[in-house]
Structure 1
């Protein structure tokens, strides 16, 4: 069948197979496996980021005997189908893997089999095998897909799921009841196939779908067709017996008002969710979310929790639903916090009871008791986790869980996993071992930073340094062309989950508010503000105009104050402290010619920093200063008149300025933007958490600028 016809055959899944691209990979089954996996992973209706696994079996030469042996390539532990590469596959001898059943001691000893997978490794440089490896290994098919499509899980999680599956597919899809993934489940899949020869796939109760084929293409098409059938069946049942989710209980706020409420509430929620460690947030008002959280069935379904292990491992077993009116007045922070305290305490107590009731003698210690998913009826969904990507993915998984509940309720009745089964997955020793193998968090992991003027020069260097150290950053500038260029550079270097951009002129209140609101919605709040935006005017006293003076003070002094004022309001909502760093100058301390406006403004910035440090200490907000000098590289300040004015003041040419400034320092060094970025990191990286009101000179050593 042609590609055009195939595409038109599917409504609920994306047919992405390209015959020309696949032809280039002919004969290379592993390459075709990767190609197929990437196509499947590109459609979130089929599987989420990091979810599902695929495999192929083919013959390869044994490096020791030179004989052809059957090898299985399967997605290894961790990784993502959409971005899978060969390095993400585990390669195992099929015969050796299947022979492990000779030493299998039963389901009570399930976990010990994972280490025994190592006896089956074909490619010693390949990825570590995942717990799902035997699920692929005991099935005889050349190509296998194991996915978590919403439509299939909706049937798998329905009260009548087994009956529906049998009737819908006329017995061509098998059924295996819920069981934790592992060696024993692999044997159960093989048993199901033996008892139902000729089936085209197996539904795993509450879990997902297994489908297969003799070629990569056959497996791909089989997978799409099965999921399409599930989705079509569910769609035909929406609203047939009752309204979706029992119909609307409330209406959503208008879009702009939802954003306004989200921006106001996010820092408060982040503060509660960061009681054990700093969390980064994500907000979505996706229409699927709104349909669920505005419904009559929210109160019944939300506490039930999710069914698929891939869902609740990332979302916790159930969300926190806020008891706030959509149009609640959120301006009185103290009142809103007082109302939310009981809700968070109840959630933490509920999670603690869940842990204490279900734990085993060897269970890992209880983890963070705060919710990951928070639902605000009429407004949207907040998620909080260790970084932006994890928070975003958690929200995506909960949307999948909503889709599952919606489908299951349409065709039958939604059922979730028993709490004990959920606990056995969440606190599985193998999952704990995986968590322990995760890289140690970077110094700024979980931190949110806004650096004014961060599209170039010193500001950009600080933003890059902070992002490299684990922070998420709000990159901003008043120059839109410069900001667009920075956006492109940050996108290539860090990807979408590390930064956002915002146009910000520090002399405009609306820009300041909009930038912080954008940060609240994207990340949940703010932890670090660096006042770096600046300009310089160098003129003799008789040439200074009112316009020059006002501009210098509006940007450097008032701008620093207004940005700090807005940041402090958010930090106080969070109540988890914070850092304000002010990039001042050696000119705040050193008197020089032709510098009355700039030098006095810098002195005002410095003393304002001391005043803020004295006032904000009670809030655990630290205020410190970095004093650079002569940072010429990539700086707009040194373009044009300022450089000419300074050169004139010192009786040299503009070209001689870098060497001139270096020679007058004690270390004879040229100062770069990266040097200032490193100084900023020293203040916020965790080693100086008990320091505030300090000044750190980064000027190569200018004795006149020593702080006395």
Structure 2
């Protein structure tokens, strides 16, 4: 049975963490103190349960709590070696764990264990950080909260900060919490309800004060030419420049992107003070750990052409990298020995701001990229609050560097699981709501790719995407691949969803089984429009993105053994599959100089789950071969060398292999997935 203290802690954490006004994703931590029976002694023992390292309050479960003996944790004050060696205390927490200890204790564990209160909340609300980063934050804290909230000067999270807050609470018994300079808030209470109530009171009181006392234009007057472009124009420009930006952001290592054109971002970039504020960077440790110390900012108005915008972004990238390298070198050397710090993690921007268009954020996966963007919106809100009341004054760059390259942060990164083979890759699969296409999309997502499922039916595409995962993994879009405008819209949707595209699978298709004399011009045109013309349009449109990114890529055609095998009553379908097969060779020859591989998969008779077979093709082919439609898969299997039916998953595995690192030097190849049809052997 769950301890009631733990249950109330989890409930409180979830309520606080689910509301973005209280804290950012994975930001902050909560705790509760109580007793349990020690199974060794049979006696009650005092414990502290605190959110573990890397967890998220909004989704916290009991398993995400670290559990420590309170007496042993507080005894650490007797061996604390001082602020210069406080990082050693994190390892000491392991000697305080109760039983198996639950999750790994975070750096903030000391704050929760040392503060003399049964329940403690440490949060990163925009309103609280706005006060914490105001130049006169200490005076504002007193003016806003009186003596109920105490100012704590900036100190890096750790054991000493826990001691500081504990001492402040003891010296101020009337206080319900504190503002942590440059960082966030901490509140406490003797019950879970009281702690939550005090946290919300601090957050809401700060927000109300900012709303009432802020100057009208915290970011300065509007800049002429920098206002947000109209919605459709804005997103079209974003799609046009996204491949360039992703390529720049992926210079050191491939990144997945996220696009944000929220009012907060657009208003910030339309105001006179945005260059000064962007250069100051973020302040809260959670923010700049995700966003880097500052963004790359385009210094052109919204009215600049796409060509000029792209050219200027490329010009700005080099100086941004040089500036970040200088920041690293300057601060690593200032400590006395650069060898003490982890190697630079890359000099590319994680946040790129484009006036009139919006923000592009990047990370190792979609969730990380999205959260980075959310954090920068938090930072904008913080700047607005601080500038509205005073002047935004974040912590200095030396402190930012000490946290960004903190050995404890590096250790956290090293503990992360090894990336999957297709991590950071963005896949676009046509005809992916069923059959082979859906199996391919599912396989690519399972191997780490972000996937766009394109299909003639938007409803089916979105349903298939939902089965694969949330929008951080897969999204569904509608497309008629024979329509040039629709194909462009599909590719635009892909780059806006994930930043770009790396892996394109031309799978959309249909078939009509008729003799030569029965095949009409309409039959011929329909199949050639969807598969020959459609593959051409998809490949051409996607290739523009692939080339502009400069990251290489893969295009895979799902052709057919019919591209080389002459079967009866199949003139239009087999001819168009031969067309697709030769497109593979032609594009492999043309796109190789850009590092783009083009390959094909030749299946045979994939009956199960097939939209084509379910749409009448199965009945037609069964009639041709004189078998019952329900037996068609088995019939196809018996005519092969392996005597085994081909399933959609087998085609998906072939696509994965073609796009995996193991076949990085293979292009222009067709892989048969037909259980062995000798007549279709490639010559």
* TM-score, normalised by the number of residues in structure 2: 0.97
Q: Paired residue for 1:585, among 555, 560, 564?
A: 560
| Contact map agreement 2:453 2:462 (CA 8 A) in 1 | no
| Contact map agreement 2:68 2:101 (CA 8 A) in 1 | no
Q: Where do 5+ consecutive residues of structure 2 fail to align?
A: 333-337
Equivalent residues in 2 for 1:302-321, closer than 5 Å: 302-321=278-297
| Contact map agreement 2:147 2:174 (CA 8 A) in 1 | no
Partner in structure 1 of residue 196 of structure 2? 220
Q: CA separation in 1, counterparts of 2:379 and 2:318? A: 25
Partner in structure 1 of residue 218 of structure 2? 244
Partner in structure 1 of residue 229 of structure 2? 253
| Contact map agreement 1:455 1:475 (CA 8 A) in 2 | yes
Equivalent residues in 2 for 1:176-325, closer than 5 Å: 176-239=152-215, 243-249=217-223, 250-325=226-301
| Contact map agreement 1:577 1:620 (CA 8 A) in 2 | yes
- Report whether the alignment pairs 1:104 with 2:80: yes
Closer, same or farther in 2 for the Cα pair 1:223/1:640, shift >3 Å? closer
- Report whether the alignment pairs 1:522 with 2:500: no
Task: State the Cα deviation string for residues 123-153 of structure 1 (Å, max 9, x = none).
Answer: 3150010000001100111111100011111
Q: Paired residue for 2:407, among 402, 411, 429?
A: 429
Partner in structure 2 of residue 345 of structure 1? 318
Residue-pair matches, total:
676
Partner in structure 2 of residue 9 of structure 1? none
Partner in structure 1 of residue 38 of structure 2? 62
Partner in structure 2 of residue 467 of structure 1? 445
Instruction: Report how far residue 324 of structure 1 moved.
Output: 2.9
- Report whether the alignment pairs 1:561 with 2:539: no
Q: Give SS of 1:77's match.
A: coil
Q: CA separation in 2, counterparts of 1:686 and 1:620? A: 13
Closer, same or farther in 2 for the Cα pair 1:499/1:217, shift >3 Å? same
Partner in structure 2 of residue 443 of structure 1? 421
- Report whether the alignment pairs 1:357 with 2:330: yes
Q: CA separation in 2, counterparts of 1:430 and 1:640? A: 58
Q: CA separation in 1, counterparts of 2:551 and 2:461? A: 30
- Report whether the alignment pairs 1:42 with 2:18: yes
Closer, same or farther in 2 for the Cα pair 1:480/1:165, shift >3 Å? closer
Q: Paired residue for 2:464, among 474, 486, 489?
A: 486
- Report whether the alignment pairs 1:379 with 2:352: no
Q: Give SS of 2:289's match.
A: helix
| Contact map agreement 1:305 1:318 (CA 8 A) in 2 | yes
| Contact map agreement 2:241 2:310 (CA 8 A) in 1 | no
- Report whether the alignment pairs 1:539 with 2:517: no
Instruction: Report how far residue 488 of structure 1 moved.
Output: 3.6
Task: State the Cα deviation string for residues 197-223 of structure 1 (Å, max 9, x = none).
Answer: 221101110011010111111111111
Root-mean-square deviation (Å): 1.4
* TM-score, normalised by the number of residues in structure 1: 0.94
Q: Paired residue for 2:60, among 84, 100, 112?
A: 84
Task: State the Cα deviation string for residues 52-94 of structure 1 (Å, max 9, x = none).
Answer: 0000001111121111111000000111000000000000011
- Report whether the alignment pairs 1:115 with 2:88: no
Q: Give SS of 1:556's match.
A: helix
| Contact map agreement 1:175 1:192 (CA 8 A) in 2 | no
| Contact map agreement 2:187 2:199 (CA 8 A) in 1 | yes
Instruction: Report how far residue 337 of structure 1 moved.
Output: 4.5
| Contact map agreement 1:456 1:635 (CA 8 A) in 2 | yes
Partner in structure 1 of residue 335 of structure 2? none
Q: Where do 5+ consecutive residues of structure 1 fail to align?
A: 1-23
Q: Give SS of 1:55's match.
A: strand
Instruction: Report how far residue 316 of structure 1 moved.
Output: 0.4
Partner in structure 2 of residue 404 of structure 1? 382
Task: State the Cα deviation string for residues 231-274 of structure 1 (Å, max 9, x = none).
Answer: 1111112226xx22112113211111111111111111001111
Q: Give SS of 1:639's match.
A: helix
Q: Give SS of 2:340's match.
A: coil
Q: CA separation in 2, counterparts of 1:254 and 1:336? A: 17
Partner in structure 2 of residue 10 of structure 1? none
Partner in structure 1 of residue 658 of structure 2? 683
Closer, same or farther in 2 for the Cα pair 1:73/1:275, shift >3 Å? same
Q: Give SS of 1:687's match.
A: helix
Q: CA separation in 1, counterparts of 2:603 and 2:148? A: 72
| Contact map agreement 1:90 1:123 (CA 8 A) in 2 | no
Task: State the Cα deviation string for residues 655-674 of structure 1 (Å, max 9, x = none).
Answer: 22111111111111111111
Q: Give SS of 1:325's match.
A: coil
Partner in structure 1 of residue 432 of structure 2? 454
Partner in structure 2 of residue 620 of structure 1? 595
Q: Give SS of 2:30's match.
A: strand
Q: CA separation in 2, counterparts of 1:392 and 1:542? A: 56
